[in-house]
Structure 1
Amino acid sequence: MYVWPNNQLLDLLNIEQPIIQAPMAGAQDAQLAIAVAQGGGLGSIPCAMLSPEQILTQFHLFKQATPAPVNLNFFCHPDLAHNREQEQQWLARLSSYYIEAGLDLNTPLPNASRSPFQAVHAELIQTLKPEVVSFHFGLPDASLLDLVKQSGALVFSSATTVQEAVWLKERGCDLIIAQGYEAGGHRALFLDTRIDTQVGLMALLPQIVDATDLPVIAAGGIVDGRGITAAFALGACGAQLGTAFLFCPEAKISSLHQQALSNSTASSTALTNIFTGKPARGILNKAMLELGPISTETPDFPYAASAIAPLRSAAEHAQSSEFTPLWSGQAAALGRELPADQLVRVLAQESQGVCKQLGLAGSKYPLEKA
């Protein structure tokens, strides 16, 4: 039994290790969440790209494998209408790539498959009663959030600024995930869409801890035990890791994505909006360098993904990742290829060793400020 500097997360969830596996839509399913839970962490199932029936199936697969708590994650982006004019402008920007790939610009485009949290999801939550429901891009409407809380689930959400963290607290969030600029995948920003003022985790985390009296989880650029210990030292009650788990065999990423992660360095990622319409951190490739990384021409989220999809499919068929969103945080170079349950245990052991070296005493409460 390990002694941690802060037991809030362990007490809330009755888990062994203060480690949350970040929900990664399109890159995992219940298998990864199960393995993380079996290692003592909190497993997460991303639901933004799943139908209600698929969510039900994934949830039951998890609960059949382990009695551990589970986190169901949803997006809360505005449900904007499909703007055909934006799409045609974006297609015109991509036309030379379509011609180069031998694609027909008049071929019907696939639908974008990311749905915001809706009443059908709230009803499902009341039936399933997961231990945790987490949100990205803010929180759902108050009426829907009330239904989630009535189910008994703890509500987590991500903040990229102190202002967002305070907003989340005022609207009933139980735990805040401080998402530093280093994090892979989509930025959770929802109050301020500027990315040039986004904050790194080392600066963001203690400010959110000071501004709220809620438990705070650190996320962004954490791939080993040193990062977890640093999160504790800055006032967090645990850490959320995403990129670290993409190296695990339970992840559902392509061999092209795996190869890109293995060759990644600290400076090989950037924030881009060209793949979905919202800023997300991924490994640089041809599409990002030539179309962005940030473009003012992309359709609103998630519709930008529709026109990119045929280019991605054609490139991947030719064993190229030049049009693939290769989501990754800035510390992928520290990743290790281990089964997810083993990785959780290794991370915990590493963090414990660093905690002892630094003299971070065990406590039921957050570390006090000097």
Structure 2
Amino acid sequence: MSSQKLTAAVSNYGGLGSFGAHGLKPEAIREVIREIKGITSKPFAMNLWVSMEDEGTLTSTEEAFHRSLSPLTKHIESVGGDLPSYRPYEPIRFEDQVQVLLDEGIPAFSFIYGIPSKQILNAFHHKGISLIGTATTVDEAIALERAGVDVIAASGFEAGGHRGSFLQSSEDSLTGTMALVPQVVDAVRLPVVAAGGIGDARGIVAAFALGAEGVQMGTAFLACEESGASSLHRKAILSGQAKQTALTRGFTGRLARGVKNRLLDNFNEKDIEILPYPLQRALVRHISIPAEKAGQIELLPLWAGQSASLSRHTDVRTLLDTLVKETSGIGEAVQSWSARRQREGVLE
């Protein structure tokens, strides 16, 4: 989930807040950027998807729409929703979204699902805008470095939300953070940010030990009121219901991790037909909106990573204060232990 308030709060604290704008039309992105600039003077990032649609999106038929709608019909009707009618796909161009970021002069541009063209990357470099590319494999990290990005976010499969793989399928790019980060650190010279399954100070310290120079956290912030997540979504995380997560293509058409509930399980059943992204995403909104109004948490697509059960805080400042304090405390404890063991002659 993304909200201007959360982005600004993280940046104002000293982090790099980020706003996911991939589903927005260009003018809506412009409005978001200006709103964020109105509540923070600190650097922030805007995130886009390089690949905006899957193969088959433009040729998908009305018949395919109704086949994919069929297993959702009972759920939509159970929460008092209206069954949707077929509408032709109206694409949003990545290049048009990018132009808004350039026009508005954002501090940092992060992206997943591919690498923008050399022309686009050069345009951002020319304006002094930092580039953050996302890798789910070592090969993707190497490709990003060769393309000329400034920072690589190494995203392990524990992360909530979408798997941003682009060299191989997402199913063939499921490397965990603990294994991915040190391999990426060894393979590239760029700063590496660890992402996926980092939910508290212990995860931050571990990421640094693996060679990362920063961490990217998402699920930990979802429980905060500033996140823009619904009250049901935040309740699922804080209540412990999110302790079980799973991967599915059912929520949007692309592989993503969410809270394991009845809707996710239904999508993962054999022979369920899933529309290509973003057609499936648009279809699922017809269950998610009425389900939220009806308070039916079992019928909501709820993004969450495998560290969701570690979430404790409901406001950004308290969460960040806790992370800074506990990370410092763990670091001091590790240094003290290391010094003591060296004195004892155990470590050299």
Q: Is contact 2:50-2:113 (8 Å) kept? A: yes
Structural mapping, 1:296-307, within 5 Å: 297-307=273-283
Task: Give the whole-Å Cα distance in 2 for the aligned partners of 1:240 and 1:114.
Answer: 29
Task: Give the whole-Å Cα distance in 2 for the aligned partners of 1:184 and 1:126.
Answer: 28
Whether 2:85 is the aligned partner of 1:108: answer: yes
Match of 2:43 among 50, 69, 80: 69
Whether 2:11 is the aligned partner of 1:37: answer: yes
Q: Which stretch of structure 1 is more off in the superposition, 121-130 or 248-257?
A: 121-130
Q: Is contact 2:136-2:173 (8 Å) kept? A: no
Q: Is contact 2:245-2:259 (8 Å) kept? A: yes
What is the one-letter code of the residue matched to 1:232?
Answer: F
Q: CA deviation at 1:72?
A: 0.9
Whether 2:45 is the aligned partner of 1:89: answer: no
**Matched residue of 2:134: which SS?**
strand
Aligned residues: 334
What is the one-letter code of the residue matched to 1:349?
Answer: K
What is the one-letter code of the residue matched to 2:105?
Answer: K
What is the one-letter code of the residue matched to 1:337?
Answer: H
Q: Is contact 1:223-1:334 (8 Å) kept? A: yes
Q: CA deviation at 1:48?
A: 1.1
Q: Which stretch of structure 1 is more off in the superposition, 86-95 or 70-79?
A: 86-95
Match of 1:315 among 284, 287, 291: 291
Task: Give the whole-Å Cα distance in 1 for the aligned partners of 2:92 and 2:335.
Answer: 46
Q: Is contact 1:270-1:283 (8 Å) kept? A: yes
Whether 2:245 is the aligned partner of 1:282: answer: no
Matching residue of 1:54: 28
Matching residue of 1:200: 176
CA change 1:352–1:109 in 2 (3 A) is: farther
Q: Is contact 2:52-2:94 (8 Å) kept? A: no
Q: CA deviation at 1:157?
A: 1.4
Task: Give the whole-Å Cα distance in 2 for the aligned partners of 1:199 and 1:57.
Answer: 36
Q: Which stretch of structure 1 is more off in the superposition, 212-221 or 44-53?
A: 44-53
What is the one-letter code of the residue matched to 1:228?
Answer: I
Structure 1 unaligned runs (5+)? Answer: 1-26, 362-369
CA change 1:78–1:253 in 2 (3 A) is: closer
Q: Which has the higher contact order (CA 8 A, sep 6+)?
A: 1
- Structure 1 residues 150-173: Cα deviation after superposition (integer angstroms, max 9, x where no partner): 221111011111111111111112
Matching residue of 1:169: 145
Q: Is contact 1:73-1:135 (8 Å) kept? A: yes
Q: Is contact 2:141-2:188 (8 Å) kept? A: yes
Q: Is contact 1:271-1:294 (8 Å) kept? A: no
Q: CA deviation at 1:175?
A: 0.7
- Structure 1 residues 113-154: Cα deviation after superposition (integer angstroms, max 9, x where no partner): 994621x22322222211110001122233222222222111
What is the one-letter code of the residue matched to 2:261?
Answer: N
**Matched residue of 1:34: which SS?**
helix
Return the structure number with greater helix share.
Answer: 2
Q: Is contact 1:272-1:294 (8 Å) kept? A: no
CA change 1:123–1:95 in 2 (3 A) is: closer
What is the one-letter code of the residue matched to 2:60?
Answer: N
Whether 2:134 is the aligned partner of 1:158: answer: yes
Structure 2 unaligned runs (5+)? Answer: 339-347
Q: Is contact 1:76-1:138 (8 Å) kept? A: yes
Q: Which stretch of structure 1 is more off in the superposition, 254-263 or 225-234?
A: 254-263
**Matched residue of 1:250: which SS?**
helix
Q: CA deviation at 1:68?
A: 0.8
Q: CA deviation at 1:196?
A: 5.6
Task: Give the whole-Å Cα distance in 2 for the aligned partners of 1:28 and 1:215.
Answer: 25
Could you tell me the percent identity over the aligned residues?
Answer: 37
Whether 2:230 is the aligned partner of 1:232: answer: no
Q: Is contact 1:28-1:252 (8 Å) kept? A: yes
TM-score by length of 1: 0.82
Matching residue of 1:331: 307
Q: Is contact 1:205-1:218 (8 Å) kept? A: yes
Matching residue of 1:249: 225
**Matched residue of 1:183: which SS?**
coil
Task: Give the whole-Å Cα distance in 1 for the aligned partners of 2:161 and 2:201.
Answer: 21
Q: Root-mean-square deviation (CA), in Å?
A: 2.6
Whether 2:186 is the aligned partner of 1:186: answer: no
Q: Is contact 1:285-1:323 (8 Å) kept? A: yes
**Matched residue of 1:203: which SS?**
helix
- Structure 1 residues 330-351: Cα deviation after superposition (integer angstroms, max 9, x where no partner): 1111112242133223212211
CA change 1:293–1:169 in 2 (3 A) is: farther
Task: Give the whole-Å Cα distance in 2 for the aligned partners of 1:28 and 1:94.
Answer: 26
Q: CA deviation at 1:272?
A: 0.9
